[in-house]
């Protein structure tokens, strides 16, 4: 019976392949999120029950999970700082008159919630184990 790929007894080659896949998925998600966040034009209309904030939290949850697993050698404080900086930069750029978008402190808070949840799941799932 094979062990779960995230367990400490998992085949190291399998874990390394999963880490490489996580890195690739991180960059795909990062690119998609950046493009969608920086498309010119007015911000999307308000959504039912504030799903915009859920989308922000989900995006940063996924990015944090993928980064936390893919780049195990990086300290979590560095990944956290990188995710926070990325979220702030997106909002600052959205505040530029060129994009005709608006920056939002509430979006930053939603990003932070996603980062916190992502870090929690990284710890609970043991994604940093060798």
Higher pLDDT, 129 or 67: 67
Residue with the larger pLDDT of the pair 30 and 7: 30
Residue 1 has pLDDT above 50, yes or no: no
Which pair of tokens denotes residue 126? 């043991």
pTM: 0.86
- Average confidence score pLDDT of the chain: 88
Where does residue 114 rank: exposed (0-12), middle (13-18), buried (19+ CB within 10 A)?
Answer: buried
Read off the pLDDT of each residue in 71-92 and give the average, rounded to a whole number: 97
Name the most confidently modeled range: 6-15, 45-54, 109-118.
109-118
Burial call 25-42: b when 16+ CB within 10 Å, e when fewer: bbeebbeebeeebeeeee
Please report the pLDDT score of residue 42 as a whole number: 64
Check residue 100 and give its pLDDT. Answer: 81
Whether the CB-CB separation of 79 and 87 falls below 8 Å is answered with no
More confident position, 30 or 47: 30
Domain ranges for the chain: 12-124
Res 101 pLDDT > 90:
no
């Amino acid at each position: 019976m094979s062990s779960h790929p995230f367990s400490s007894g998992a085949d190291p080659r399998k874990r390394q392949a999963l880490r490489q896949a996580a890195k690739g998925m991180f960059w795909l998600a990062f690119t998609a999120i950046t493009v969608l966040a920086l498309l010119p034009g007015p911000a999307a209309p308000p959504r039912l029950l504030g799903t915009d904030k859920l989308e922000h939290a989900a995006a940063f949850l996924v990015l944090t999970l993928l980064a936390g697993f893919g780049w195990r050698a990086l300290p979590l404080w560095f990944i956290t700082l990188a995710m926070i900086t990325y979220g702030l930069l997106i909002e600052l750029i959205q505040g530029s008159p060129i994009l005709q978008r608006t920056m939002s402190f509430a979006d930053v808070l939603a990003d932070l919630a996603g980062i916190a949840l992502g870090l929690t799941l990284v710890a609970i799932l043991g994604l940093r184990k060798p």
